[in-house]
Chain A
Amino acid sequence: MNALDQTLALAWRSLVQVRRNPWELGDYSIQPILFLVLFLFVFGGAIAGSPDDYLAFVLPGVIVMNMLFVTVYVGHGLNTDLTRGVFDRFRALPIPRWAPLAGRILADVVKQVLCIALLLIVGYLLGFRLATSFGHLLVMVLLVLTFAVAFSWVMVLVGVLARDPEHVQLFGFTALFPVTFVSSAFVPVETMPEWLQGFVQANPVSLLTEAARGLMNDDGAVAAPALASLAWAAGIAAVFAPLSVWVLNRRLARG
């Protein structure tokens, strides 16, 4: 058995957990659908004139928002392992030090793919039709996944710092809500006050959503926002991956 198999076994474990935890499953599946439907029918008329016109605009936004929310579970799961002693059990086994983390993040990618697929299916049922090609859609998915992996490191840090799993969720969602809503994920940036627009335009959530919109709807620039969100992803990973590992090692050395 090599390190890859061990990582896969650990990823399998994180995925089996979801099956046994209806709450988490609900967060992955019901919540994003609820958001999509609520935004569509409650705000759709006000923002875009009609729900039908709003669907193509909001679907990429909900996909990006849900991607961010799902990463919270990387931190949640890691914190659970740390506080319950499971992490120690893994560390006492002859496996690479990075395998438990890699397994979590890999499982997260699988969850992300399932969530995106689910939202696309629900979007289709609500009337969404792809204006581009399957290839464009695939690029959109890869872009979102790349950002998810990078952003997972932020949640790893939260998972290491938090006292218990509940605090990870509390802090994670509390921090993510303003970041997602002060973006162009749900509302066109032109409608916001001018002092806010600068922030919104620089927000990676906006950039990623705009790239996804371009890739799905063929209605805007793709390259610029896509490259900008990849730059953000690289920056986030460059800062948070080493920081998280450093803090994790400090926590483990505390005994």
Chain B
Amino acid sequence: MDNTIEVEGLVRDFAGTRAVDEVSLQVPAGHVLGLLGPNGAGKTTTVRMLATLLSPTAGRARVGGLDVVDEAARVREIIGLTGQYASVDEKLTGRENLILIARLLGMKRAAARARADELLADFSLRDAGHRPVQTYSGGMRRRLDLAASLVGRPRILFLDEPSTGLDPRARRDLWARVRRLQDAGTTVLLTTQYLEEADALADSIVVLDQGRVIAEGTAAELKARVGTRTLFLRLARADQADAAARQVAALTGSDPHVEGETLSAPVAEASLLPAVLRELDATGIEVAELGLRSASLDDVFLTLTGQTGSTDAPADAAGDSGEDAA
């Protein structure tokens, strides 16, 4: 069985605007690929083309070895899709939603009920299973949505911004589920605007900006590509911050970011660390803490796109999910 995703030169235009511009990517079987990018980067449009919901303007994509245009019907048999918004019927109960999907996938009545109950138990929805979905919390809806996309035991799963609007606990719960799916051999392509999420879940990351792939690799590779590390300095006395900042600027060649008694500045080499300590000591500036941290994905994103990616927890950014102007 071929559980890979292969995308080559995928293009999608909307009324003169190029939403997806020559996107190529590869996801090996059983891997989690994080498609990372800001709103409007083309993440959702890419996923919709891979899930056969939208036809590409140009390029080609194979999902599980099947062409998404020529063999769309067969692609639908092996994929699961969870969109940005919980796409379940709010008027039905959770159980009825799952039974409906199971029936549509060709299961007999008894088998459909059994599969629904199994998933409800699995997703901690057993008690809520008999309530209409409109009474569910956001986290419960998202769990049901994910469960609904797993009814047919898909080999390849698309998760479009799965944690948008979830509180931190629900998000961690979702991450744990994605990891379990990965352990079970499911190939996952997930889109996210949260660097933290891509870092936590993805085997490899493709960074998308304005429809183009601007970087790809593992989280570690991307961090290494940006090449800088950050010097972190905390002083004993806040009133010495300005003096310290001047010295750090002289040594590292860039103005540090000052916040109260803490300073941070990008540095090229670790060997600068002892020099900084010596200089500060010589001028009588008391250092409480000094260290280097490797670049966060946020730094990577800033470097690559020239704009700040969000390090906020998804829950803090709930509602700003208007991806892909269409």
Q: A residues touching B (Cβ–Cβ < 8 Å)?
A: 1, 5-6, 9-10, 12-13, 16-17, 20-21, 81, 84-86, 88-95, 252-255
Across the interface, which residues of A come within 8 angstroms of B44, CB to CB? 255
List 11 interface pairs A-B (beta carbons < 8 Å), by A numbering: A1-B107, A9-B103, A20-B92, A90-B104, A92-B52, A93-B101, A94-B73, A253-B55, A254-B14, A254-B326, A255-B326
Q: Which one, B77-85, B186-194, B284-292, is touching chain A?
A: B77-85
Would you call A93 and B105 a contact (CB within 8 A)?
yes
Query: 5 tightest A-B contacts by CB?
Result: A85-B87, A255-B326, A1-B106, A9-B103, A94-B76
Q: Are B87 and A86 touching (Cβ within 8 A)? A: yes
Task: Indicate if B147 sits at the interface (CB-CB under 8 A).
Answer: no
Is A89 a contact of B83 with CB atoms below 8 Å? yes
User: Which residues of chain B from 60 to 86 have a CB within 8 Å of any chain A CB?
Assistant: 73-74, 76-77, 79, 81, 83-86
Count how many chain B residues have C-beta atoms less than 8 Å from C-beta atoms of the other chain. 40
A residues in contact with B77, CB < 8 Å? 94
CA gap between A17 and B307 in the complex, in Å: 45
* Distance between Cα atoms of A85 and B53 in the complex (Å): 11
B residues whose Cβ falls under 8 Å from a Cβ of A: 14, 19, 44-45, 48, 51-55, 73-74, 76-77, 79, 81, 83-93, 96, 100-101, 103-107, 132, 148-149, 324, 326
Q: With the chains together, A20 CA to B132 CA distance in Å?
A: 8
Report the separation of the CA atoms of residues A252 and B55 in the bound assembly, to the nearest whole angstrom: 10
Decide if B81 touches A253 in the complex (CB within 8 Å): no
B121 to chain A, nearest CB (A): 22
Known contacts A9-B104, A10-B104, A84-B85; A255/B92 CB under 8 A: no
Determine whether the beta carbon of A13 is less than 8 Å from that of B83. Answer: no
B96 pairs with A252, CB closer than 8 A:
no
Once A13-B100, A255-B45 are accepted as A-B contacts, the answer to whether A92 and B51 lie under 8 Å apart by CB is yes
- Which one of A1, A16, A21, A94 contacts B103 once the chains associate, using CB atoms below 8 Å? A1
Indicate which residue in B53, B79, B91 contacts A17 across the interface (CB closer than 8 Å): B91
CB atoms of B81 and A88 under 8 A apart: yes
Q: CB-CB < 8 A to B53: which residues of A?
A: 88, 91-92, 252
Residue of A nearest to B112 (CB): A9
Q: How far in angstroms is the closest Cβ of chain B from A232?
A: 33
Q: Name the residue on B nearest A255 (C-beta).
A: B326
Q: Would A84 and B87 count as touching, CB distance under 8 A?
A: yes
Once bound together, how far apart are the Cα atoms of A17 and B73, in whole Å? 28
Q: Is there an interface contact between A253 and B54, defined as CB atoms closer than 8 Å? A: yes
Is there an interface contact between B54 and A86, defined as CB atoms closer than 8 Å?
A: no
Is the CB–CB distance between A255 and B48 below 8 Å?
yes
- Tell me which residues across on chain B come within 8 A of A13, comparing CB atoms: 89, 92, 96, 100
A9 and B19 contact, Cβ closer than 8 Å, known pairs A86-B88, A94-B105, A253-B54: no
**Contacts A21-B91, A86-B89; A92 near B76 (Cβ below 8 A):** yes
Instruction: Give chain B nearest CB distance to A98 CB in angstroms.
Output: 13
- Find chain A residues with CB under 8 A from B79 CB: 92
For residue B126, give the distance in angstroms from its CB to the closest CB of chain A.
19
Closest to A6 in B: B104
Cα distance A20–B94 when bound, in Å? 13
**Given A89-B81, A92-B53, A255 and B87 contact (CB-CB distance below 8 Å):** no
Closest partner residue, chain A, to B326 (CB atom):
A255
Contacts of A88 in B (CB 8 A): 48, 53, 81, 83, 87
Chain A residues near B19: list those with CB within 8 A.
255
Q: A9-B100, A93-B104, A255-B54 are in contact. Are A85 and B92 (CB under 8 A)?
A: no
Residues of the A chain whose Cβ atoms lie less than 8 Å from the Cβ of B93: 20
Assess whether B87 is in contact with A93, with CB atoms less than 8 Å apart: no
In the complex, A197→B101 CA distance in Å? 51
A93-B101, A253-B55, A255-B19 as given contacts; A84 in contact with B324, CB under 8 Å = no
A163 to B84, CA, bound (A): 19
> How distant is A166 from chain B, measured CB to nearest CB, in Å?
15
A56 to B92, CA, bound (A): 39
A106 to chain B, nearest CB (A): 15
B residues less than 8 Å from A6 (CB atoms): 103-104
Other than the given A1-B107, A17-B92, A94-B76, 8 more pairs (CB < 8 A) read A9-B103, A10-B100, A20-B132, A89-B87, A92-B51, A93-B105, A95-B104, A255-B45
- A84–B97 Cα gap in the complex (Å)? 14
Question: Quick one: which of A5, A9, A16, A255 contacts B14, CB cutoff 8 A?
Answer: A255
Let me know if A16 and B81 touch, CB within 8 A.
Answer: no
Decide: A5 near B48, CB < 8 A? Known: A89-B81, A92-B76.
no
Chain A residues with CB under 8 A of B148: 89
